[in-house]
Chains A and B, each alone.
Chain A
């Protein structure tokens, strides 16, 4: 549709402005979109662009347009419209004329040009015909030449083929000789290259006898060569490069890769085993001391065994795993390597563990830590080479186990140190008596033992701290950051030791019979004070020290200081109670023997205080001194200044009571019972084995209570004559004179002694008491 008309109408040389309109109209006429025209159409009275009333539109209907105009417009508008339309029509006519004039010349010249072209083409056609004829002649000649040369060409091709074949054959025939020469010259690579070239051909023509012969020869030579290569490979003396070449050649000779891997590894195994055996020899005889120290041992292990292992792994990987064209066997080779490494490392680890277990010395462990560090470090290198093996994890496990074992050993060492301290204390308590010197100062002993134990703990902490030093490779493992500090050192070592101390203390109290009896009371007293000191300060000091040195970073539950303190206090209390019991029983035993072995019915009139009573007072005094060295005085019940007088009066009241005895009437027992019951109403019941407080007075009170109660019970089991009663009176008065000063409440002593005298009177066949003044004289005399 876009016909030739718009083409000539387009030249840009035309002046713009007036020309635009006719173009627009034409375009519109041919249905081309023209935005300008459309805008113009929009201005037309009818609106409706493209509709029957659009005067510029394609579907313009004059009837409709006129009807519409007539309907819608006023007369003036119609007039305007008419003049406008007339103007437009004129303009269009003149436009058309201009176009025709403008394009006329162009049409003429175009016609001329076409005519000229027609003539030219005719000439060209003739020349082309001539060319075609020439070409046909050339083709003919060429075909003729080819046909004449054909025969010769075929012959040449054949000849060159024969030549090639002959050369190959020559190569083949010469191959055995060449190969032999190569083998002689040790140019194995060359030989293999030759052979691999010829191999397929030989294989193809092996049915021909001559080739068969060659192949046999070659195979023989190559087998020989392979043998040599293997020997070289096995020999192992050659360097890694040679070895690699060997393996490469062998692989090219189609030797099975798996076999080669095995051979390589078994060869390596032999060497490494020998090294391990040398290492094992350094462990020394079973049960004997190791030949070298642990650092040297580990050093040797690392430098010889582990580094060789690394070399083996590296060369193996180079040979079999990471090589080009070996993808098929990579997996198999890798598996073999891992199994190989794991089995050898297992042996190595067991050796290392055996060596570590030999490390029993509990002193400085810096050697051990350094050895472990080196061990661990070298394993990291190995693990980097071979990530598939589990050596790193196992190595860490070994280090962890060694650390745990170490902590355990230190705990045992601390315990045995503590035991040794106790033994020393016992010895120093026992020895001076033989030498006749003054008995050692308990306070000094306490200071010594507590200081030396504390020092020991501190030094053990320092030793253990080495495990977590920053420059040690394994110190940043999670175990050493967390569990080692909290569970190992704090709980396992320190808390464990404190608990062990308390446990030992309890054992001193629990052992019955022979074992418990052999513990000197002074040791019990000393330990009780030690436990009490632990409760008040030492435990919290030690734990603070530990927590400072080992920053505990994990969430494991830890034993709080308070519960440990409570345990220590309980142990101290038990020890002190036990001390009171033991001392009380020692005195009780003397009193009991003295009461049981005497015939109280047939005794003579008392002249002296019995020796056993003096002994009781002496022993009590020495216990008082002993306890005074370690424990504070304690509180006494308020006493009047003249307490001896008061005791006297109290005692005389009991004497009064026993005076009633001779005048017993059938109703008298009621009176005495009433009297003693009334007396009891005013005194609290005495709890004999009650726990004591941590002070001297309380301890002494406990001991005296036990002793006097025994005295009372023994007296009640006997029957007395008159003088028996009087002897008891004397003894009790003597005790009264000396014992009141030790106890917190002297009424307690008075009460128990009154009971003794009262009970004796009851058990007396002829109760005639001795005069108080006589008693006093006897007691003062001695």
Chain B
């Protein structure tokens, strides 16, 4: 088995949304959301067979619009949230919603059909995250350790904390904070800290990173990082990289041209960390 060779999967559309299926801890499974203005957008469920280096896919239709961000619930394999563009009356608005995928796709067990288009299925809408007051949604992030009831969404310069109620059919805004500073600041991305009982959130705006405490919703000191390795399989800009929730040494990266590359941490480095 050629362990370190990357596996590449191509999508028809341009794409920038990628997430692992977090609630799934046995199989390596990623969700990819496409960006197309003309056609129905899709969510590709990518199963990676670690033993044989083979990829299986299932496609869901996401009719609401082109997907800018996707995230999977940490508690329920079938639940996911997307940020999507809604175009109406020549106005473009980015909204967010929580969806449930069909039951039979949840564990991705069934065989991949020969023709993807013939077998596409539709998502079931659970609820909208109402953002009319706060501007365009940049991303939705689930609380990683919780029961899939709490999520954060970043809308323009607002940090919003939501509670999902009645089996995710209703979303209630429970807290919010605004980013203050010079000029028009916009959140671009954010993450929960998995430590400290999930009370901290890191967000990015422009080239700055901010830390937030969800109890007080106040800024903390920024963090530092550094490069470990470089991967060069992509030709176009890469907008998403996600670790697998099942295999800690495996991650997927997605470039704008629709190329999904599944890579492993270099073996030498892995042993260096382990031993």
B237 touches A673 (CB 8 A): no
Contacting pair B14 A762 (CB below 8 A) = yes
Chain B nearest CB, measured from A716 CB (Å): 7
**A677 vs B235: C-alpha distance in the bound complex, in angstroms?**
9
Q: How far is the CB of B231 from chain A (nearest CB, A)?
A: 13
CB–CB A765/B14 < 8 A: no
Q: Is the CB of B237 within 8 A of A601?
A: no
User: Which residue from chain A places its CB closest to the CB of B13 in the assembled complex?
Assistant: A669
Query: By the criterion CB–CB under 8 Å, are B12 and A673 in contact?
Result: yes
Q: Is B268 an interface residue (CB 8 A)?
A: no
A147 vs B117: C-alpha distance when bound (angstroms):
174
What residues of chain B lie closer than 8 Å to A666, measured between beta carbons?
39, 117
Within 8 A of A (CB), among B31-56: 36-39
The contact string, 1 if C-beta is below 8 Å from chain B, for chain A 759-780, is 0001111000000000000000
The stretch of B84-92, B144-152, B195-203, B213-221 that contacts the partner chain: B84-92
Contact B37 A719 (CB under 8 A): yes
Collect the chain B residues with CB atoms within 8 Å of residue A664's CB. Answer: 38
Which residues of A are in contact with B by a Cβ distance under 8 Å? 601-602, 664, 666, 669-670, 673, 676-677, 680, 685, 712-713, 716, 719, 721, 762-765
C-alpha spacing A503/B264, complex, angstroms: 39
Give the CA-CA distance A602 to B90 in the complex, in Å.
7
Instruction: Report yes or no: A601 in contact with B37, Cβ–Cβ below 8 A.
Output: no
The residue in chain B whose Cβ has the minimal distance to the Cβ of A687 is B232
CB distance from A91 to the nearest CB of B (A): 129
Whether A669 pairs with B92 at a CB distance below 8 angstroms is no
- Pick the contact of B92 from A601, A670, A673 — CB < 8 Å? A601
| Residue of A whose beta carbon sits closest to that of B38 | A664
A-B pairs with lowest CB-CB distance, top 3: A719-B92, A601-B90, A669-B12
Complex Cα distance, B246 from A672, in Å, reads 35
Residue among A669, A676, A764 with max Cβ neighbours from chain B (10 Å): A669
Most buried by B among A676, A716, A764: A716
Bound-state CA distance A103–B219 (Å) is 156
B256 at the interface (CB under 8 A from A): yes
CB of B257 within 8 Å of the partner chain: yes
Is B258 an interface residue when CB atoms closer than 8 A count as contact? yes
Please determine whether A680 and B37 come into contact, CB atoms closer than 8 angstroms.
no
Residues of A within 8 Å of B237, CB to CB, are 712-713, 716
Q: Compute how far the CA of A719 lies from the CA of B68 in the bound complex, rounded to whole angstroms.
A: 12
8 residue pairs A–B, Cβ–Cβ below 8 Å: A601-B87, A601-B92, A602-B90, A664-B38, A716-B256, A719-B92, A762-B14, A763-B37
Given known contacts A673-B258, A719-B85, is B37 in contact with A764 (CB within 8 Å)?
yes
**Cα separation A765 to B36 with both chains bound (whole Å):** 10
Q: Which residues of B lie under 8 Å from residue A676 when comparing CB positions?
A: 257
Whether A721 touches B90, Cβ cut-off 8 Å, given contacts A669-B39, A716-B237, A716-B256, is yes
A673 vs B15: C-alpha distance when bound (angstroms): 13
Residues of A within 8 A of B258 (CB): 673
User: Quick check: B87 and A719 within 8 Å, CB to CB?
Assistant: yes
Closest to B208 in A: A513
Q: How far is the CA of A602 from the CA of B87 in the complex (A)?
A: 12
B257 and A677 contacting across the interface, CB-CB below 8 Å: yes
Q: Are B257 and A673 in contact (CB under 8 A)?
A: yes
Which of chain A's residues have a CB closer than 8 A to the CB of B90?
601-602, 721, 765
C-alpha gap A765/B37 in the complex (Å): 6
Q: State the B residues within 8 Å of A (CB).
A: 12-14, 36-39, 85, 87, 90-92, 117, 235, 237, 256-258
Residue of B nearest to A667 (CB): B12
Q: B14 to A670, Cβ gap below 8 A?
A: no
In angstroms, Cα B237 to Cα A716, docked, is 10
Q: Closest residue to A666 on the B side, CB-wise?
A: B39
- Residues from chain A with a CB closer than 8 A to the CB of B256 are 716
A719-B85, A762-B14 are known; give 13 further A-B pairs, CB within 8 A: A666-B39, A673-B12, A676-B257, A677-B235, A677-B257, A685-B235, A712-B237, A716-B256, A719-B37, A719-B92, A764-B37, A765-B37, A765-B87
Interface centre among B36, B38, B235 (most CB of A within 10 A): B38
Contact A601 B235 (CB under 8 A): no
Most chain B CB atoms below 10 A, which of A601, A673, A721, A764: A673
Measured between beta carbons, the chain B residues less than 8 angstroms from A762 are 14, 37
C-alpha spacing A488/B165, complex, angstroms: 75
Q: How many angstroms between the C-alpha atoms of A721 and B39 in the bound complex? A: 16
By beta carbon, the residue of chain B nearest A600 is: B92
Docked CA distance A60–B22 (Å): 146
Query: Which of B36, B85, B117, B235 interacts with A680 by CB under 8 Å?
Result: B235
Contacts of B92 in A (CB 8 A): 601, 719
Could you tell me the distance between the alpha carbons of A673 and B37 in the complex, rounded to whole angstroms? Answer: 15
CB within 8 Å for A669 and B37 given contacts A719-B92, A721-B90, A762-B14:
no
Q: Which residues of B contact A602 (CB under 8 A)?
A: 90-91
Please give the distance in Å from B241's CB to the nearest CB on chain A: 16
Tell me, in angstroms, the Cα distance from A397 to B65 when the chains sit together.
82
Contact indicator A601/B91 (Cβ below 8 Å): yes
Closest to A512 in B: B207
> Taking CB as reference atom, which chain A residue is nearest B239?
A716
- List of B residues within 8 angstroms of A680 by Cβ: 235
Across the two chains, which residue of chain B brings its CB closest to A602? B90
Q: Which residue of A lies closest to B16 (CB)?
A: A716
CB distance from A762 to the nearest CB of B (A): 6
Q: How far is the CB of A138 from chain B (nearest CB, A)?
A: 133
B37 touches A670 (CB 8 A): no
Residues of the A chain whose Cβ atoms lie less than 8 Å from the Cβ of B85: 719
Enumerate chain A residues within 8 angstroms of B257, measured Cβ to Cβ: 673, 676-677
**Residues of A contacting B117 with CB < 8 Å?**
666
A677 to B85: give the CA distance in the assembly, Å.
Answer: 26
Query: Within 8 Å CB of B235, what residues of A?
Result: 677, 680, 685
Alpha-carbon distance between A669 and B40 when the two chains are bound, in angstroms: 12
* Most central of B39, B92, B257 by chain A CB within 10 Å: B92
CB-CB < 8 A to B13: which residues of A?
A: 669
Complex contacts, B14 vs chain A, CB 8 Å: 762
Residues of chain B within 8 A (CB-CB) of A764 are: 37
CA distance A763 to B85 in the complex (A): 12
Which chain A residues border B36 with CB–CB below 8 Å?
Answer: 669
- With A and B bound together, what is the CA distance between A712 and B117 in angstroms? 31
The CA of A654 and the CA of B13, in the complex, are separated in Å by 19
CB-nearest residue of chain B to A681: B235
CA distance A713 to B36 in the complex (A): 16
CA distance A712 to B38 in the complex (A): 20
> How far in angstroms is the closest Cβ of chain A from B237?
6
Minimum distance in angstroms from B227 CB to a CB of chain A: 13
In whole angstroms, what is the CA distance A721 to B89 when docked? 12
Of all chain B residues, which has the CB nearest A670?
Answer: B12
Q: B117 to chain A: closest CB distance in Å?
A: 8
Q: Tell me the complex Cα distance, A664–B39, Å.
A: 10
A117 to chain B: closest CB distance in Å?
135
Task: Note all chain B residues with C-beta closer than 8 A to A669.
Answer: 12-13, 36, 39
Which chain A residues lie closer than 8 Å to B12 at the CB level?
Answer: 669-670, 673
Complex Cα spacing A246 to B38, Å: 122
Complex alpha-carbon distance, A108 and B258, angstroms: 169
Report how far A685 CA is from B232 CA in the complex, Å.
10
CB distance from B209 to the nearest CB of A (A): 13
Q: How far is the CA of A762 from the CA of B36 in the complex (A)?
A: 8
| Distance of A670 Cα from B258 Cα, bound (Å) | 11
Task: Give Cα distance in the complex from A764 to B90, angstroms.
Answer: 11
Question: What is the bound-complex CA distance between A764 and B37, given in angstroms?
Answer: 7
Smallest distance from the beta carbon of B36 to chain A beta carbons, Å?
A: 7
Task: Report the minimal beta-carbon distance from B155 to chain A, rounded to whole angstroms.
Answer: 15
Q: Kindly name the residue among A601, A670, A764 whose own CB sees the greatest number of chain B CB atoms within 10 A.
A: A601
CB-CB under 8 A from A712, the residues of chain B are 237
Residues of A within 8 A of B87 (CB): 601, 719, 765
State in angstroms the CA–CA spacing of A676 and B237 once bound together: 14
Minimal beta-carbon separation of A659 from chain B (angstroms) = 16
- Nearest CB in chain B: distance from A405 CB, A: 39
CA distance A673 to B235 in the complex (A): 12
- Docked pose: A52 CA to B117 CA in angstroms: 159
